[in-house]
Amino acid sequence: MTNTLYDALFARHTQNDAPFLTDDNGQTLSYAQFVGRIAQIAHTLVEAGVSPGDRVVVQAPKLIDTIALYGAAVQAGAVYLPLNTAYTESEARYFVEDATPKLVICDAGNQATFEGLCAQAAQILTLAGDGSGSLSRKADKKPRHFETVARGEDDLAALLYTSGTTGRSKGAMLSHKNLLSNAQSLTELWQITEADRLIHALPIFHTHGLFVAMNTALLAGAQVRFMASFDASAIIDELPKSTLLMGVPTFYTRLLNKAQLTPALVAKMRLFVSGSAPLLAETHTAFEARTGHRILERYGMTETNMITSNPYDGTRVAGTVGYALPGTEVEITGNGTPVAAGEIGMIEVRGDNVFQGYWNMPEKTAEELRDTGFFITGDLGTKTEDGRITIVGRQKDLVISGGYNIYPKEVEDVINNVPGVAESAVFGVPHSDFGESVLAAVVLDDHALTAAGIAALVEPHLARFKHPRRYILLNALPRNTMGKVQKNVLRANYSD
């Protein structure tokens, strides 16, 4: 068995003429063609000065070449660092300064921005939504074979930033072993094979769309219908031809709004997977009633890859996230020691799937990753005698909207910087489409300020999905006797 990502996911397909990716234009690339494209891009990375261990930042549209770029970075021994395409200049600045990449690949429209952010330190190549740009232009001229740079299983393959509870994003260092071991567990557990056709409608800058979906498909040699974004009608058209869908809960609530969703439509489908945010039991039940399929819910994090999954063959219980994956240990703890079955505690996880620590943040790493190898997730849960896990809440102050994480502290920092704002509290309320939605309670020093005025000053600094949907102006924030802001009170007061 090979133990580095390139060998396990890509090299095995050098002679494989089976179809791999089909995009929205109907273009299909075979596995062999895809591996050839990876080699061309790997040559381009090396030409741009990328050496083993260097970070390659990618803020690019969802294209076949963007996935090839991931393969190329890994083949060249570099560290792949994808960024959400919604991030603003001030968000991108932090990532570039923290990760000090050797190369940035971005949409041509953002080239000037990145040139400003990187000064002389990094090369910049472009990749536009139509596939044009300096990356493809250079790659087209390169050989379709590249001598893979040798890497060890503990070397880094990717750096994925996850928002921080203290406001600053933390780069999760993921090794070849972290990613490969998880892909192997999931492929086996979910019985993914070359007979599968996956509908891929997730973004490819997060662990769900990039690793859970792509790495498993690559490992199995499955076919992938690669959709630029989620569109419920387009998915309805693909379901009769497909066997597998992976999505966030919003995918399923939106599909349920489609009258065409019937058992006949999904007759070929083998498995629907949900994760990244809690799937409401009522969504699970409604989906089963409409299609006959019980959605398989799994649980994971950027730092740990996937942690638990409901069983493929056994009982999938709505509202639970199933059992620890093979090779992964899950403990529920109180003050660091395991609690009894059924009791609520912190979910902790250990295994080959758990990351190497936070980039440049040894203290943060020490706070969250124990010497014993257990990672403290910040999620609260219970475990039955037989090991079934249920997530009951979060200790971390986090809002999950449509599968995207929003850390209130980061949004509060931006609001508090608005002249005339005394303080703010950002919190999540239930939302029928996104699961949760963000609101902001704001206390003013300058009473001439309006909600619209605050929004106008906040929005340029934050990706749109983080924007509060409403600003509530209050005379004071609710506080407990210790002086701590009571977000539960805000949630209760404004949840409708």
Residues within the interface to ligand AMP (CB under 6 A): 162, 207, 275-278, 297, 299-302, 321, 377, 379, 391, 394, 400, 405
φ/ψ (deg, to 5) at 178:
-55, -50
Q: Which does 403 bind (CB under 5 to 8 A by kind): ligand AMP, ligand MLC, none?
A: ligand MLC
Q: Which does 208 bind (CB under 5 to 8 A by kind): ligand AMP, ligand MLC, none?
A: ligand MLC
The answer to whether 4 touches 98, Cβ cutoff 8 Å, is no
Q: Which does 250 bind (CB under 5 to 8 A by kind): ligand MLC, ligand AMP, none?
A: ligand MLC
**Closer of 148 and 390 to ligand MLC (Cβ):** 390
**Closer of 103 and 160 to ligand MLC (Cβ):** 160
Q: Which does 377 bind (CB under 5 to 8 A by kind): ligand AMP, ligand MLC, none?
A: ligand AMP
Cα separation, 205 vs 190, in Å, equals 23
> Within a 13 Å sphere around the CA of 413, how many CA atoms are in the beta-carbon half?
12
Site stretch for ligand MLC (CB under 6 A), options 123-131, 347-355, 402-410, 478-486: 402-410
The answer to whether 79 touches 105, Cβ cutoff 8 Å, is no
The least CB distance from residue 37 to ligand AMP, in Å, is 29
Q: Which does 105 bind (CB under 5 to 8 A by kind): ligand MLC, ligand AMP, none?
A: none
The least CB distance from residue 109 to ligand AMP, in Å, is 26
Distance of CA 367 to the CA centre of its chain: 22
Cα separation, 75 vs 53, in Å, equals 11
Among 71, 101, 133, 203, binds ligand MLC (CB under 6 A): 203
248 binds ligand MLC (CB under 6 A): yes
Q: Hey, what are 397's tokens?
A: 């102050």
Q: Hey, what are 453's tokens?
A: 């005025």
Q: Which does 312 bind (CB under 5 to 8 A by kind): ligand MLC, ligand AMP, none?
A: none
Give residues with Cβ within 8 angstroms of 131, minimum separation 6.
Answer: 63, 64, 65
φ/ψ (deg, to 5) at 256:
-65, -25
The least CB distance from residue 364 to ligand MLC, in Å, is 18
276 binds ligand MLC (CB under 6 A): yes
The least CB distance from residue 379 to ligand MLC, in Å, is 10
257 binds ligand MLC (CB under 6 A): no
The least CB distance from residue 208 to ligand AMP, in Å, is 8
242 binds ligand MLC (CB under 6 A): no
The least CB distance from residue 119 to ligand MLC, in Å, is 30
**Closer of 391 and 444 to ligand AMP (Cβ):** 391
Strand partners, 371: none
Nearest to 104 by CA among 75, 133, 131, 146: 133
**Closer of 229 and 480 to ligand MLC (Cβ):** 229
Site stretch for ligand MLC (CB under 6 A), options 33-41, 323-331, 343-351, 398-406: 398-406
The least CB distance from residue 298 to ligand AMP, in Å, is 6
The least CB distance from residue 428 to ligand MLC, in Å, is 11
**Closer of 76 and 210 to ligand MLC (Cβ):** 210
Q: Which does 278 bind (CB under 5 to 8 A by kind): ligand AMP, ligand MLC, none?
A: ligand AMP
Among 36, 101, 171, 402, binds ligand MLC (CB under 6 A): 402
Site stretch for ligand MLC (CB under 6 A), options 2-10, 46-54, 136-144, 298-306: 298-306
Which string of b and e fits 365-388 if b means at least 16 CB within 10 Å?
Answer: beebbeeeebbbbbbbbbbeeeeb
Pairing assessment for the beta strands 337-338 and 375-383 based on DSSP bridges: unpaired
Q: Which does 391 bind (CB under 5 to 8 A by kind): ligand MLC, ligand AMP, none?
A: ligand AMP
Q: Hey, what are 180's tokens?
A: 């490969």
The least CB distance from residue 31 to ligand MLC, in Å, is 24
Among 257, 371, 447, 464, binds ligand MLC (CB under 6 A): 464
Residue type (1 letter), 192: I
Site stretch for ligand MLC (CB under 6 A), options 18-26, 131-139, 295-303, 338-346: 295-303
Among 77, 101, 275, 278, binds ligand MLC (CB under 6 A): 275
Cα separation, 133 vs 165, in Å, equals 37
164 binds ligand MLC (CB under 6 A): no
> What does the binding site for ligand MLC look like in residue numbers (CB under 6 A)?
202-203, 206-209, 229-230, 248, 250, 275-276, 300-302, 401-404, 434, 464-465
